Amino acid sequence: MSRAKKHTAGETRARWILAGLGAALIILFLASFLLGRFEVPLPEVLRILAGQLFPIGRTWSDKMEIAVVNIRLPRILLACLVGACLSAAGVSYQTVFQNPMAAPDILGASSGACFGAALAILLGAGKAGVTISAFCFSMLTVGIVYLIGARTRGNRIMGILLAGVMVSSLFSAGTSYVKLVADPSNQLPAITYWLMGSLSGATRHDAFTALIPMAAGLLPLLLLRWRLNLLTLSADEAKAAGVNTERLRLAAILSATLLTAASVSVSGMIGWIGLVIPHLCRKLVGNNCRFLVPASMLMGASFLLLVDDLARNLLSVEIPIGILTAFIGAPFFLFLMTRKEAPV
């Protein structure tokens, strides 16, 4: 088989895999409405959802509509959005830094968000204030990291990575101090629960508010996913192809940071998705970001939605999502470390 035919066959296979991931996400999206303490049949779920868009005859009760529209729909949408964004951010960071172990928190975005949320809870802010504070501190942290990395001598990529480790450590220390001085009977439990990650209590306002920065981060990555492959080339090769790698790298970092900040600010700390999902998708569609980015988004959305379904239905008490993702992500990370070809 010629090289061109192999290339075409690989693209065709990748497209079929993307279609399969999309179909799996749709099925899981609808199935998630059937899970919960209050049972709602699938036909009624479909009618209720259709009734939000079209004027159709009402055949469902008020309790069914509240369960589907006000409780389950916002949570399901947020799970899909957060999973897709964290996975896309993971692909972006791994491509930019040429490091398969890079994750959305590599530049300290998650640490900054944790500090911002903990500080807001300590100051008595409401849910909206906690979300805004987490988002702002997350963006601020990465901004500091990038400025420090840009002023370091030698390899700029290594300078940014090292700055990320240092600044992340400082904000983690700040979070620990906030927990130390927080009221142990009220504030400390709220901070601890937020740090474990959860989509409990999600509202339609939360989903639509998060959608704005998420869309602002996802759109550039989707438009630039063809060019992201050029970051694997040397500076001279990319320049010969007419691509400014510095601008492309900055655009990818800003987009990934925006996605991470928006996700963590509404869901708390949910780790491992941005590390695990891109690696699994590489096994399916390869390293071409043209297919890897959308595949990671679809699989990330499905994965976090499935984990959230387990979190709210597995036990009588809801399990924080961060705990479940760690149970899956940590063994996978160990598997990568013990593989002969795994870079360490």
Contact 229, 289 (CB under 8 A): yes
183: phi then psi, degrees, rounded to nearest 5: -65, 120
The structural domains of the chain, with segments of one domain joined by +, span 3-338
Contact 174, 111 (CB under 8 A): no
| Secondary-structure percent of the chain, ordered helix, strand, coil, rounded to 5 | 75, 0, 25
Give the pLDDT score at 344: 41
pTM given for the model: 0.90
| Structural tokens at position 339 | 């593989």
- Give the three-state DSSP class for 157: helix
User: Is a pLDDT exceeding 70 seen at residue 265?
Assistant: yes
Residue pLDDT, tens place only, 10-53: 788 889 999 999 999 999 999 999 988 888 899 999 999 988 88
Contact 325, 308 (CB under 8 A): no
Residue pLDDT, tens place only, 98-135: 887 788 888 989 999 999 999 999 999 888 899 999 99
Overall average pLDDT of the 196-203 stretch:
88
User: Is a pLDDT exceeding 60 seen at residue 341?
Assistant: no
**HSE-CB for 24 with a 13 A CA cutoff:** 17
Give the pLDDT score at 7: 59
Question: CB count, 10 Å around CB of 235?
Answer: 11
Alpha helices in 97-203 (DSSP H): 109-122, 127-151, 156-181, 187-196
Question: CB count, 10 Å around CB of 98?
Answer: 11
Task: Pick the closest to residue 181 from 131, 127, 119 (CA basis).
Answer: 119
The CATH number corresponding to 3-338 among 3.20.20.120, 1.20.120.920, 1.10.3470.10, 1.10.1490.10 equals 1.10.3470.10
Amino acid letter, residue 154: G
Task: Pick the closest to residue 35 from 62, 10, 5, 71 (CA basis).
Answer: 71
Task: Pick the closest to residue 25 from 271, 308, 304 (CA basis).
Answer: 304
Alpha helices in 186-339 (DSSP H): 187-196, 204-228, 235-240, 245-267, 273-285, 289-313, 321-338
